[in-house]
Amino acid sequence: MPYRSWSQPRAKPRTYVGQFLRAMILHQVELRNELRGKLNNGKPGWNYDEPAVAELVCQRILQLFFGKEYDAHDIAKFLDVVELAAADDPPVDRIKIEMLIREAIGEPDIEVNDISPPQRFVLRGIMIAMAAFQLELDEGTVDGIITDSERLAFECGWKPPLIRDRGAAYRR
């Protein structure tokens, strides 16, 4: 790892989805709502590049949340929290969320392809927010998790849209 002075500020997320997730985790509601309209380059429809970042962020945060020593009871308690947070919008299928959790924390042979990509994106967002809240992650840790996830997504061939007007996204 290259030398990095502690006096230098940490990098901030450079993609719209990264900034969106950051605003969501840090409870920056106004910025989150503004960035929601910039997902998918502000166009209607769907892309797979931005959800790749959300998946990687979800993996990192849930692995921090559950650690290496967890059991089915820990997952069930977290499912209860996610279910309450979703408030039936979207309707929550506990089995699907459990599969997403188990996939994120690295359990082998977990299949989530029967969950639609948009539903995976929304459910991962809810899980990210709830786990980050319970972990009480500070801004620097959030930025580190998201920027590492963005970098990994690019290394894996994904191309989530980069923020072009840095001032607008970083003003908070």
Directed axis angle between helix 117-135 and helix 94-104, to 10°?
Answer: 70
Instruction: Write the CB contacts of 18 (distance below 8 Å, at least 6 apart in sequence).
Output: 53, 146, 147, 149, 150, 160
- 122 contacts 110 by C-beta, under 8 angstroms: no
Position 23 scores a pLDDT of: 97
- With the C-alpha atoms ordered 26, 27, 32, 34, is the resulting torsion angle positive or negative? negative
The whole-chain average pLDDT of the chain stands at 89
Per-residue pLDDT at 126 exceeds 70: yes
- Average pLDDT in the 77-93 region? 82
Instruction: Write the CB contacts of 113 (distance below 8 Å, at least 6 apart in sequence).
Output: none
More confident residue, 18 or 46: 18
- Average pLDDT in the 132-158 region? 97
Q: How confident is the model at residue 170 (pLDDT cuts 50, 70, 90)?
A: low
Position 84 scores a pLDDT of: 86
More confident residue, 172 or 142: 142
